[in-house]
Structure 1
Amino acid sequence: MPPNSAPTSSWAQALLAPRSIALVGASDDLSKTSARPLQYLRRAGYQGTIYPINPRRPTVLGETAWASLDALPAVPDHAFILTPTDDAIAAAEACARLGIPVATILASNFSEGGDAGLARVEQLKAICAASGLRILGPSSLGAINLHSRTIITANAAFAESDLPRGGIFVASHSGSLLGGLISRGKARNVGFAGLVSVGNEIDLSLGEICAATLDDPNVTGYMLFLESIRRAQDLRDFALAAAERGKPVVAYKLGRSAAAAELALSHTGALAGEDGFAAAFLADCGVARVNNFETLLEALPLLHKLPARAAGQRTKRVGVVTTTGGGAAMVVDELGIRDIEVVKPSHATFDRLGEAGVAAQHERIIDLTLAGTRYEVMKAALQTMLAAPEFDVVVAVTGSSARFQPELAVKPVIDSAGSAKPLVAFVVPEAPDALTMLTQAGVPNFRTPESCADAISAALLRRQPRRELPLQRGPAAATRQLDELEAYRLLDRLGIAHAPAVAIEVGPQAVDLPFAYPVAVKLLSADIAHKTEVGGVVLNVGDEAGVKQAATKIAANVAAHRSGAALAQVLVQPMTSGLGEMLLGYRVDPEAGPIVLLAAGGIFTEIYRDRSIRLAPVDLDGAREMIDELAITRVFRGFRNKPHGDLDALARAIVALSRLAVDDKVHVRDAEINPLIINEVGSGVVAVDALVALADKEDS
């Protein structure tokens, strides 16, 4: 069999349900990390064969030990390499030589270990390339399959007995987080099918591992803890396949800060950042992203009940029934922060509540007060709200009775949960018994208003995955930046209108413009992206003399800011105004691929940070959704009786720029129009500045 061509079922079985396991570097000292895996496997009741490997001892923890992998009586399915970094490579070589299908490497100092670590990574990759060995890690705390009692980990949390089994499969960039999830899950009666710490992903990727479990009937949904988007194609393939099987995926991702913004050529890069690309990628893959760690543990039951929305479906309407006004108000507040609307019941719904014997004030929240502690009142209110067409989700908020009388408090919620419409429970007091009952009944339930609102928002915003997207890995860097005139020629080809522009020489020559004054005079250079930062723009120039003066001033400013720079030409355009300004950008991320971004435009773009991002290309429906997501676009919808903006033209411009993702004639790394002037309905949109950076096709 050629290198790395082992069928998925072969390495997947060896990874998650091995018949035999070698523990390379197993310790006899109970205080050491390398002693844990043997203990955990025995305590869990693992039925396969375990081979402790220790060259200095005949036994480990009372069991026969072998001096090396070569000394084993049979080839194991899986080797958990517990040795220090320097010895791990030799152990991996031995695994490859013997034909062991999978090796998990605990040691660190590989991808994160500087030049020496990267050299070690290349050694491991070469071992995999020359053999059929698949590697999990390095820096992996292991792989756990609770249904087969395979606890291949050094994570201290798995010393706990009676770990909860269920349908959730967890894949995490952080090995320690597995312990956090398993311990919190046990406290909440949330069960797991398996958990994998993927480490550096130098070979087996997170997406690849999850995909190998898709047809396992024990796995019903996925939790991902992500530090970044790695091996994007594998992750996307898995997410789309999970959606086809009705197995929801929820993700918690680190890295929301804008630390990478200063490295960006354009505002687009600064606004999107690594996390912006990741958010767009996950959304277009149909993955629900949550903002709170606790929500990661709690969200899947709701995702099972609330299908991902199709393109064009924009309703986000929530109804609330409560026995405690304060508890409900917290949920309403948290939903409002996330732009999720708590809807007041219709007159017809209030009439049906009255007919059912429920006394309710005509307010957004149906506050039953103490009457709601009676089963028949809460049950009637919930059934009425769940039947009402104005809600997408109904939230039942339960007060103190949930702690002292859990059976009575949550029984009407449990008995109403068979509705086709999702019913969610937020329990205000610390009431573990009530939460356990709700979990066992399959009712999505939450301990805090923050996680309740976070899960509802993630579920309502989850989109059906875009299967037609051609995922492309981008080049690491742009190779050539265009000047503004060259950028306009690209916009011409895309069909995006721009203001007229001509180049004139810096000097005493006569200036003959094909358009009227006043004009804007701007530096024309392929080397300077942000003109205003070097004094490269003069506005409202009224005559020929002013143009010459502005050109001379700009040339002097450039020379002062860029030592040795000589400006030969400037760009002149007529002053252009409209109803407002937007930024429209395109960028290729090395992992997530091409994205298109829409944001508030002008010089304050990065202050507002009002943005919408999609993987490119997008269609008109996707472009319109992007427009609807921005607060700034309300200005163009008749705000305070002002004229309506041409948002249809804006949508067409978004689509046109996004098509760079599938353009065979030019390979664009960055493109940005800022500002893009929005005119009145019927008058279109006009670009008055543009940045474009190209990259070689062969880099992609």
Structure 2
Amino acid sequence: MTASLAAMPSVCQTLLYPRSIALVGASDDVKKTGGRPLQFLRRSGFAGTIYPINPNRAQVQGEQAWPSLAALPQVPDHVFVLSPTETVIDTVRECARLGVPLVTILASGFSESGAEGVQREAELRAIARNSTLRILGPSSLGVVNPHNGLVLTANAAFAEPDVPRGKVFVASHSGSMIGALVSRGKARGVGFAGLVSVGSEVDLSVGEICAATLDDPAIEGYALFLESLRHGDQLQAFAREAARRGKPVIAYKLGRSSAAAEMATTHTGALAGEDDIADAFLKDLGIVRVDMLETLFEVFPLAQKVPLQSHSMAGKRIGVVTTTGGGAAMVVDQLGLRGITVQPVSDATLAKLKAAQVPGSAGRVLDLTLAGTRYEVMKSVLDIMLEAPEFDMVVAVVGSSARFQPDLAVKPIMDSAGHAKPLVTMLVPDAPQALAALTQAGMPCFRTPESCADAIAAVLARRVPHTPGQTVAAAPGMGAALSEAQAYQLLDRLQVPHAPAATFALDGQPGPLPFDFPVVAKVCSPEIPHKTEVGGVVLGIQNPEQLVQAFATLRANLAARAPGVACNEVLVQPMRKGLSEVLLGYRIDPDAGPIIMLAAGGIWAEVMRDRSIRLAPVSVDTAREMIAEVKLLQTVSGLRGKARGDLEALAQAISDLSQLALQPVHGVLEAEVNPLMVMPEGQGVLAVDALVLQAR
């Protein structure tokens, strides 16, 4: 072990560089799950000590077997428990008693299997909490380090020898995926610096494991296969540190369902589904979230080439040069579907191309036709385009010559690799030789237009991590609502503007108003978060007599629709109308932490689902980006002579509300303004309803 490895956290050392391994439940039959790890370790040349544990056999696969962990001549660095579920707890207790640093559990049958499994999982957590033992799993298929022959896995895919080496470390909730990625990577000439099947994360999480490996010099980036967001605080801490060190993190996440939104108290909770929040969470941490599995292991060279701090999604200008118009059209279409427009060649660049006697035609793309298959033509064009100021990235789309004559069109691409500007290649035919050469050279290259566009869009969509927010400790469902009047007091402290309001006793008579008619009267009680559902709002009140009648109407509606619900006040506000209405919401997600959401407001909030989400807090600049992402607000952006709303005041209000993430003293779990009226430019924004949930 080198000095740098010796200084690594113990989790990394025992996980990827163990000096000794015990296999509890090792089988003599290499066809069985319990027999695979020993066979794989021996075949891969692992140099450490291996102890097969089997109380029923003196030998396993021709090697000495040991009856128990206690019988071993030393305490192993890493124990892989291959035995059945019912034996796991006792084995893990024995590991803790002996001082084993790390145990991996293959068996399932824990929290996913009902009450008995939940209890087993609780016992595992208690063992880890009360000892120095760390636990990987349950439901972990093990860990692989191609650099030292550590193939400590029961995954049958590793029966194929020679795991390819690379620079990317893989952490996966799914154990089968580590084998799938290796086989797919082999086909593309892509290797890995390590792979770990994380399983149920009863103790060690994706974030903690990856964070522990950040000092490993063999690891230059990370690929995550996520089934959900769990232990979000640890994942967040890892991603921020990886971004600081310039180690790209790529993620493929399952679970785009929003079923949990059905139980939400606020519109913010209903609109910000699990995957919406996960998407904002990953991108705000600088993580490249891809949509396609193939992109997961293809995108790393591009993520390395495009520094996180050097771009914004809106400012990326893509130039395309091609030897095949049809192939380029596919790339352009796929980029367009992801909101990226290809930039045409400028007149100045066209003049340089003409001076260089470059053939072909220039429209949205520069189509060289068959002339581009000549080395000198393609190289000359790339030299000019990579220097052209109108492009931030250049995509070269190569046709049939990539398969049959790669030296003609692919070699000039490889010879242009040293340029600071990113150069991406998409090969239209099946051209494994050219792909392998480009991959070996560390150049971004893609087999399909879909994965090419997915990679570009995902790399550009990530954002520089900012100051993290703080969570408020509260059990699920433990939030207590404030009345609307109390919610406005909170908005005052945050400097978020709201319409003036006066409160009166529900069972009394309204007094003089500090503002003019017409007005609206609303029941005001923490017990009634959604007033319209109980007939608790009367609009368009024109005079004092109608206001008295409105109070009577509210009393009658409450008696009929909410009998016994405590309500002692009526809140009265002047009727106001803006150019547009938006919903502005803040909430603390149990996994992602504080988030801020801007969405189309009023009756359109849940119909249109037109929204933008970020981790809170956000700056005014970030708030402006959010405004640009909500399509409804384009109607008040001043287009075609239309009235312009006060979008700067809206950006300030978004930022101000998001500061709740830095003010846990308020104990706010959720805060929502719906609607927030966007007034004409120069007249600000105005909250005319607010709902706040605080920790009890």
| TM bucket, shorter chain | over 0.9
Question: Could you tell me which residue of structure 1 aligns to residue 216 of structure 2?
Answer: 216
What amino acid is aligned across from residue 26 of structure 1 in structure 2? A
Q: Call closer, same or farther: CA 1:635–1:262 in 2, change over 3 Å.
A: same
SS at match of 1:674: strand
Give the distance between the partners of 1:692 and 1:642, measured in 2 at CA.
34
Q: Deviations over 1:5-54 (max 9, x none)?
A: x9963332121111111110111233321111111111111111211111
Q: By how many angstroms is 1:276 displaced? A: 2.6
**Residues 1:537 and 2:534 aligned together:** no
What amino acid is aligned across from residue 114 of structure 1 in structure 2? G
Q: Does structure 1 conserve the Cα–Cα contact (< 8 Å) formed by 2:229 and 2:592?
A: yes
Question: Could you tell me which residue of structure 2 aligns to residue 59 of structure 1?
Answer: 59
What amino acid is aligned across from residue 412 of structure 2 in structure 1? P
Q: By how many angstroms is 1:55 displaced? A: 1.3
SS at match of 1:357: coil
Give the distance between the partners of 1:91 and 1:318, measured in 2 at CA.
57
Identity %: 60
Question: Could you tell me which residue of structure 2 aligns to residue 348 of structure 1?
Answer: 348
Q: Call closer, same or farther: CA 1:588–1:37 in 2, change over 3 Å.
A: same
Give the distance between the partners of 2:310 and 2:569, measured in 1 at CA.
50
Question: Could you tell me which residue of structure 2 aligns to residue 659 of structure 1?
Answer: 659
Question: Could you tell me which residue of structure 2 aligns to residue 104 of structure 1?
Answer: 104
SS at match of 1:223: strand
Question: Could you tell me which residue of structure 2 aligns to residue 624 of structure 1?
Answer: 624
Q: Call closer, same or farther: CA 1:313–1:225 in 2, change over 3 Å.
A: closer
Q: Call closer, same or farther: CA 1:363–1:537 in 2, change over 3 Å.
A: farther
Matches within 5 A, 1:220-619: 220-309=220-309, 314-466=314-466, 468-472=467-471, 474-477=473-476, 478-506=478-506, 509=509, 512-558=512-558, 561-562=561-562, 564-565=564-565, 568-619=568-619
Matches within 5 A, 1:46-125: 46-125=46-125
Moved more, 674-683 or 607-616: 607-616
Q: By how many angstroms is 1:588 displaced? A: 0.8
Q: Does structure 2 conserve the Cα–Cα contact (< 8 Å) formed by 1:474 and 1:590?
A: no
What amino acid is aligned across from residue 461 of structure 2 in structure 1? L
Q: Does structure 2 conserve the Cα–Cα contact (< 8 Å) formed by 1:474 and 1:589?
A: no
Moved more, 72-81 or 558-567: 558-567
Question: Could you tell me which residue of structure 1 aligns to residue 168 of structure 2?
Answer: 168
Q: By how many angstroms is 1:545 displaced? A: 4.5
Question: Could you tell me which residue of structure 2 aligns to residue 180 of structure 1?
Answer: 180
Q: Deviations over 1:406-427 (max 9, x none)?
A: 3333112112222110000111
Give the distance between the partners of 2:530 and 2:537, measured in 1 at CA.
10
Give the distance between the partners of 1:407 and 1:476, measured in 2 at CA.
63
Question: Could you tell me which residue of structure 1 aligns to residue 190 of structure 2?
Answer: 190
Give the distance between the partners of 1:191 and 1:110, measured in 2 at CA.
33
Give the distance between the partners of 2:54 and 2:73, measured in 1 at CA.
15
Q: By how many angstroms is 1:128 displaced? A: 1.9
SS at match of 1:342: coil
Matches within 5 A, 1:199-210: 199-210=199-210
Give the distance between the partners of 1:361 and 1:25, measured in 2 at CA.
67
Q: Does structure 1 conserve the Cα–Cα contact (< 8 Å) formed by 2:313 and 2:461?
A: no
Moved more, 508-517 or 221-230: 508-517
Give the distance between the partners of 2:445 and 2:390, measured in 1 at CA.
22
SS at match of 2:686: strand
SS at match of 2:408: helix
Question: Could you tell me which residue of structure 1 aligns to residue 3 of structure 2?
Answer: none
What amino acid is aligned across from residue 468 of structure 2 in structure 1? L
Give the distance between the partners of 2:510 and 2:195, measured in 1 at CA.
73
Give the distance between the partners of 1:554 and 1:87, measured in 2 at CA.
64
SS at match of 1:599: strand
Give the distance between the partners of 1:316 and 1:149, measured in 2 at CA.
42
Gapped regions of structure 1 (runs ≥ 5):
1-5
Moved more, 472-481 or 682-691: 472-481
Moved more, 198-207 or 97-106: 198-207
Moved more, 502-511 or 666-675: 502-511
What amino acid is aligned across from residue 32 of structure 2 in structure 1? K
What is the TM-score normalised by the length of structure 1?
0.94
Q: Does structure 1 conserve the Cα–Cα contact (< 8 Å) formed by 2:313 and 2:460?
A: no
Question: Could you tell me which residue of structure 1 aligns to residue 695 of structure 2?
Answer: 695
Q: By how many angstroms is 1:188 displaced? A: 0.3
Question: Could you tell me which residue of structure 2 aligns to residue 35 of structure 1?
Answer: 35
What amino acid is aligned across from residue 475 of structure 1 in structure 2? A
What amino acid is aligned across from residue 337 of structure 2 in structure 1? I
RMSD: 2.2
Q: Does structure 1 conserve the Cα–Cα contact (< 8 Å) formed by 2:243 and 2:308?
A: no
What is the TM-score normalised by the length of structure 2?
0.94
Q: Deviations over 1:319-364 (max 9, x none)?
A: 1111222221221122112211211121101111111222343411
Q: By how many angstroms is 1:616 displaced? A: 1.6
Q: Does structure 2 conserve the Cα–Cα contact (< 8 Å) formed by 1:426 and 1:449?
A: yes
Give the distance between the partners of 1:559 and 1:432, measured in 2 at CA.
75
Gapped regions of structure 2 (runs ≥ 5):
1-5
Give the distance between the partners of 1:559 and 1:31, measured in 2 at CA.
72
Q: Deviations over 1:527-552 (max 9, x none)?
A: 23333344443433334454455445
Moved more, 507-516 or 177-186: 507-516
